[in-house]
Amino acid sequence: MPCETRDPTPPAPLRKYNRTIDLEKLQAVSDAIIADDEVPRDDPDAQQAHELLAGTSMGGARPKVVVEAHDGLWLAKFNRVDDRWDHAKTERAMLLLAAECGIRSATSKCTTIGDRNVLLVKRFDREKEKHGYRRPHAERAHIAPRR
């Protein structure tokens, strides 16, 4: 009996992500958190509230959350209600400018929720597969020089 051949690639992790259609709800939760308003724990949208309350591993001071669209995962970066300028459009312009200068930059787009823009930045560190997402091989910058 021949041995079973296994794929050396680990399976994609199964996880439910927020959908891009939920951006309006996510913006409202973000506003409530920034305003120090109470976000009900029994809210049917508890996953979205939890994601924003817990923060992300992305770091930074801007409210953000990972969302899923038909073509993969995107990082949604919200403008704050007290912003003095449109951070989403400004960051998008910088990404486009970098690309025009020959610098590889992330795929991005802006969408409008109510009267504010949300910047969507494509996750380059997750590859969509049939049953989820996997991390392609990547090397961290602080490790590479040691080799």
pLDDT tens figures, 33-63: 777 777 666 665 555 555 554 555 666 777 8
1 pLDDT tier (thresholds 50, 70, 90) = very low
At 41 the pLDDT is 64
E strands, the chain, in order: 18-19, 64-69, 72-78, 108-113, 116-122, 127-129, 132-134
At 15 the pLDDT is 56
What are the strands of the beta sheet with 72-78, ordered from one edge? Answer: 18-19, 64-69, 72-78, 116-122, 108-113
Cα 116 versus chain centre, distance: 18
Tell me the whole-structure pTM to 2 decimals. Answer: 0.67
Q: What are the angstrom distances between the C-alpha of 33 and each of 25, 79, 81, 121?
A: 12, 13, 11, 22
Distance CA 97, CA 106 (A): 12
Nearest to 74 by CA among 17, 138, 120, 143: 120
Give percent of the chain above pLDDT 70: 63
Q: What is the DSSP letter of 45?
A: T
Distance CA 133, CA 59 (A): 21
- pLDDT higher for 69 or 101? 101
